[in-house]
């Protein structure tokens, strides 16, 4: 595959841009149709209700126009996407059973070394399917479920159907609808009452084929008083044509439970990343999103907390970095339905080389949500004169007894800071990198150590040549 010079230059610092030869059991034709949807459902041997759900979602997708707000999506040709690619040897429970070339891919990405080192369980998705999913025995004995979404449907049909598409229905938006029609891969997680999983679960997503779409669907249920942490990572090769990622994440945090969902997104710069992530939080529950967006051509992603019962709390911490040819349109939503609920949004963005970062957020307090409060902080750092940042805060308050704060800052790297650090023996690039690491520290400190190190390393790669 020949990569044109512009794409090659944009991806110059992207270390995951290699690809494997394509060896697939099924590869649907390009474009989205009823035949493709039926092919997916048949390949997965699904019950009739799921096929009916998919076909209804297809009709919703076709009826909805492309959004005209947010990032420019005019370059995304939905007719040129492969909506389903099934790799050979998928959904292995043993690492030894994963095909050699796919195994090599994830070995190069640090899977399953990460599992051996610091994780409760690992899932690995390659194209449209989970090729590997495993949970350590100590957590299985406590009743924790960590399966591919397909196995969750088969092994826990009642629990699955009770919650599936109740938090993000197909009608929600055009990309939730396309995911609902062609979803494939993703995780099904259930943590029983009172169980505290004190080391993370992780799933890693890899796109390999050119012009491919990845549409994982993750459903996570944290029962009363339980706790867990889930980490997601993403990469893709650098091609001259665009790929499309549109995942849906649904999370249920029940009474008194606590859950954290962390993402380190590092897609290549030819990927449109259009994702819907939402959590329903019940009485006294806590939902935390920690969101790192460094890759992709376009990102539109707004993790949401729906605070449904009294005392529920939601937090979103996000960092976005946009370089040349990128638009990171990221943000958060906190919606208060019940009294004495609380939320926090901390959003930080870095822009360079005509890259554009946008914060787009919603805080809504419904009438009757007395004593509720949310605070929003948006900080943007511009590394040069060509960079751009925007803030689009939406605040809707229907309850008089409520409190909302919003503050936003935009700054540039200070020449005096650079000169001072140079006087202490740092080069100009090292000085700028130190300032940027300080800027993102509130986000990085919330990640496990190994992932904070990775986030800082990715930032450093993106920063190369940004100053001077």
pLDDT at 8 over 60: no
pLDDT at 55 over 80: yes
Indicate the pairing of strand 145-148 with strand 187-191.
antiparallel
d(CA 281, CA 467): 43
d(CA 145, CA 327): 36
pLDDT (0 to 100) of residue 18: 34
466 vs 80 pLDDT, higher one: 80
Quote the tokens at residue 225. 């008083």
Task: Identify the CA nearest to 128 among candidates 186, 89, 187, 46.
Answer: 186
d(CA 171, CA 57): 8
d(CA 441, CA 279): 25
pLDDT (0 to 100) of residue 98: 61
- Tell me the pLDDT tens digit for each residue of 322-381: 999 999 999 999 999 999 999 999 999 999 999 999 999 999 999 999 999 999 999 999
Average pLDDT over residues 285-301: 92
3 state SS for the chain: CCCCHHHHHHCCCCCCCCCCCCCEEEECCECCCHHHHHHHHHHCCCCHHHHHHHHHHHHHHHHCCCCCCCCCCCCCCHHHCECCEEECCCCECCHHHCCHHHHHHHHHCCCCHHHHHHCCEEEEEECCEEEEEEECHHHHCCCCEEEEHHHHHHHCHHHHHHHCCCCCCHHHCHHHHHHHHHCCCCEEEEECCCCECCCCEEEEEECCCCCEEECCEEEEEECCCCEEEEEEEEECCCCCCCEEECCEEEEEECCCCEEEEEEEECCCCCEEEEEEEEEEECCCCEEEEEEEECCCCEEEECCEEEECCCCCEEEEEEEEEECCCCEEEEEEEEEECCCCCEEEEEEEEEECCCCEEEEEEEEEECCCCCCEEEEEEEEEEECCCCCEEEEEEEEEECCCCEEEEEEEEEEECCHHHHHHHHHCCCCHHHHHHHHHHHHHHHHHCCCCHHHHHHHHHHHHHHHCCCCC
pLDDT (0 to 100) of residue 6: 45
- Tell me the pLDDT tens digit for each residue of 101-112: 555 655 655 555
Predicted TM-score (pTM) above 0.85: yes
**406 Cβ partners below 8 Å, 6+ apart?**
363, 375, 376, 378, 393, 395
pLDDT at 305 over 80: yes
pLDDT at 94 over 70: no
pLDDT (0 to 100) of residue 103: 58
Confidence band, pLDDT 50/70/90 cuts, at residue 309: very high
108 vs 30 pLDDT, higher one: 30
């Amino acid at each position: 595959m020949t990569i044109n010079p512009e794409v090659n230059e944009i991806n110059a610092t992207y270390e995951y841009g290699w690809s494997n030869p394509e060896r697939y059991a099924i590869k649907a034709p390009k474009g989205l149709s009823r035949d493709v949807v039926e092919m997916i459902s048949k390949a997965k041997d699904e019950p009739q209700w799921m096929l009916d759900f998919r076909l209804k979602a297809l009709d919703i997708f076709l009826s909805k126009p492309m959004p005209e707000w947010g990032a420019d999506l005019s370059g995304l040709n939905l007719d040129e996407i492969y909506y389903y690619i099934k790799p050979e040897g998928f959904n292995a429970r043993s690492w030894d059973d994963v095909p050699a070339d796919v195994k090599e891919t994830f070995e190069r990405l640090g899977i399953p070394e990460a599992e051996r080192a610091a994780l409760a369980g690992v899932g690995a998705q390659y194209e449209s399917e989970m090729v590997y999913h495993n949970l350590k025995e100590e957590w299985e004995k406590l009743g924790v479920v960590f399966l591919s979404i397909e196995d969750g449907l088969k092994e826990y049909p009642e629990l699955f159907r009770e919650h599936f598409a109740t938090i993000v229905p197909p009608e929600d938006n055009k990309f939730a609808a396309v995911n609902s029609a062609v979803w494939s891969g993703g995780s099904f997680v259930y943590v029983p009452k009172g169980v505290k999983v004190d080391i993370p679960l992780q799933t890693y997503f890899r796109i390999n084929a050119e012009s491919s779409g990845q549409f994982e669907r993750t459903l996570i249920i944290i029962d009363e008083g339980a706790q867990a942490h889930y980490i997601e990572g993403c990469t893709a090769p650098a091609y001259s044509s665009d790929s499309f990622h549109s995942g849906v994440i649904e999370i249920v945090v029940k009474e008194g439970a606590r859950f954290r969902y962390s993402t380190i997104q590092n897609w290549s710069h030819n990927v449109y990343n259009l994702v819907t992530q939402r959590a329903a939080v019940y009485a006294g529950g806590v939902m935390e999103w920690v969101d790192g967006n460094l890759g992709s051509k376009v990102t539109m992603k707004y993790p949401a907390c729906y605070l449904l019962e009294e005392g529920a709390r939601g937090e979103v911490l996000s960092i976005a970095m946009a370089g040349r040819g990128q638009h990171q349109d990221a943000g958060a939503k906190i919606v208060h339905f019940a009294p004495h609920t609380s939320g926090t949004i901390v959003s930080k963005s870095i822009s360079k080389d005509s890259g554009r970062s946008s914060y787009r957020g919603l805080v809504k307090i419904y009438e009757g949500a007395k004593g509720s409060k949310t605070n929003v902080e948006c900080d943007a750092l511009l590394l040069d004169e060509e960079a751009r940042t925007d803030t689009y805060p939406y605040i809707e308050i229907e309850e008089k007894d409520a409190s909302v704060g919003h503050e936003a800052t935009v700054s540039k790297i200070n020449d005096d800071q650079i000169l001072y650090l140079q006087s202490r023996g740092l080069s100009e690039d090292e000085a700028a990198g130190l300032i940027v690491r300080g800027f993102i520290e509130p986000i990085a400190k919330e990640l496990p150590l190994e992932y904070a190190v990775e986030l800082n390393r990715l930032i450093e790669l993106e920063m190369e040549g940004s100053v001077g």
